[in-house]
Amino acid sequence: MRIAIQKMDALITSFTTNILDPLKGILILLATIFFLWGLVQYIAGASSEDKRTEGKQHMLWGIVGLVIIFSVSGIIGVIDNFFNK
């Protein structure tokens, strides 16, 4: 039984290290780019209300994406600490 638990722990650690961590980095990068693109749209379209509204929406969703990514990361960290103590 102890060997099975050790193998499962190694599998979870490997999955986290090789898949979740790089995926989190990519998602953070994409959300940041989305936010910055919205900022560029907002500044470039200062004379057009439609362009400013579109830029605001992109900035908002970029921030929402970042909040979700960091929240899920924090929840996973809490769960990981709970089971590994």
Task: Give the count of beta carbons closer than 10 Å to the beta carbon of residue 38.
Answer: 20
pTM, to two decimals: 0.80
For residues 58-64, average pLDDT: 97
Output the six-digit token pair for 67. Answer: 């909040």
For residues 26-48, average pLDDT: 95
Statement: residue 85 has pLDDT above 70: no
Please indicate whether residue 15 or residue 47 has the higher confidence score (pLDDT): 47
Q: What angle do CA 28, 22, 73 make, to 5 degrees?
A: 60
